[in-house]
Amino acid sequence: MEDILLIKVIRGEASEEECSRVLDWIQESNDNSRYFSELKVFWTLSTMPEVVPASKKELFGNFYIRQVALTAAAVIIVLLVVNLFVSTGFFSSRNQAAGDRIQLAEGVNMRTMYVEKGVKGKVILPDGSVVLLNSGSTIKYPDKFTSSAREVELSGEGYFDVVKDSLNPMIVTTVKGVKVKVLGTKFLLKSYDNDSETKAILYSGKINLTAEAGKNREEQSILMNPNDCVVVPAEGELLVTKTGKEGNDDAWMRGELIFANTPMPEVLKILERWYGKTFVVSNKSLYGFNLNASFKNESLIQILGIIEFCTSVKYRIDEDKVIFY
């Protein structure tokens, strides 16, 4: 199979016939599937611009970015030769001045890391804790933890693997005011600006979640145990449930998209983050459908084809926009 055609599929520019050809080829063998996955990683990272100080961007402009992309591509080729899988994201980074909710000690700077739509990211905090960020997410943290609490702010979705420190708990605050206090554990926290609810899922250890709840929005705290899931709605009481092994909330970390009777507005919101496209719905009948499907390695064209087949709503792609009509 020609690499040019595979890249077209990865970029979402291939026709339905071309996507079908590539999908059949991928399914022929594990080697084909592995090669496609490695090529997808290669293409993503080789087109990743390096974040540089504003002064350098002004000095070198687009030439600097192109040179960085070429350097990254050369490095990635070496990684593929040794069959090393690299997972990363496109970060924007800047230091934040005083005014954030996190109280900074003298000489401590605030870092803001943003993961662009269409990619995933990984952040290692000053204490060694690891955060995997989903598309379109932002995390803020000091460049070193100096107080008795390790304070972090999240907007979007992140999976936290927190280094245990019984004397200095980590406190993660979302843009919607939900606060999670942990000593050392693994949990997922989802709180996008344009979502109607915040969700927390605990995988190991214990965490204390605090949020405003109820008709009068009084503050409520819940001690979460492993497999607990807490949903904080925009209005009403907190919802506490148990998650089983069949839970799909962490599917994005495995490169999977899983929709279980998901309303189409939510489907489109997830696809926007996943592929970095903007969806425009002219045919409002699309909103009346739910989707039951799972995807891995499929291009946007393939997924749109399935939506079109299931709903009979047509679509067209206009640069970075997907228009349903």
Tell me the per-residue pLDDT of 172-208, one tens digit each, with 9 for 90 and over. 999 888 999 998 899 999 999 989 899 999 999 999 9
Say whether both 59 and 184 belong to one domain.
no
Per the structure, the complete domain to which residue 318 belongs is given by 255-324
Alpha carbon distance 280, 30 (integer Å): 37
Say whether pLDDT at 107 is over 70: no
The pLDDT score that the predictor gives to residue 101 is: 52
In the chain, % of residues over pLDDT 90: 43
Say whether both 280 and 221 belong to one domain.
no
Maximal CA-CA distance, the chain: 61
What is the number of domains present in the chain? 3
Closest to 282 in 3D by CA, of 254, 242, 235, 321 = 321
Say whether both 70 and 121 belong to one domain.
no
Say whether pLDDT at 241 is over 50: yes
Say whether pLDDT at 88 is over 50: no
> Residues with Cβ < 8 Å from 31, sequence gap 6 or more?
none
Say whether both 30 and 132 belong to one domain.
no
Task: Check: CB of residue 245 under 8 Å from CB of residue 215.
Answer: no
Say whether both 74 and 98 belong to one domain.
no
Question: Is residue 250 included in any domain, yes or no?
Answer: no
CATH at residue 236: 2.60.120.1440
Question: Is residue 248 included in any domain, yes or no?
Answer: no
Alpha carbon distance 319, 297 (integer Å): 21
Q: Full-prediction pTM beyond 0.75?
A: no
The pLDDT score that the predictor gives to residue 191 is: 94
The pLDDT score that the predictor gives to residue 16 is: 72
Q: What's the pLDDT tens digit per position in 12-23? A: 777 777 877 887
Say whether both 104 and 66 belong to one domain.
no
Beta-carbon neighbour count of residue 116 at 10 Å? Answer: 18
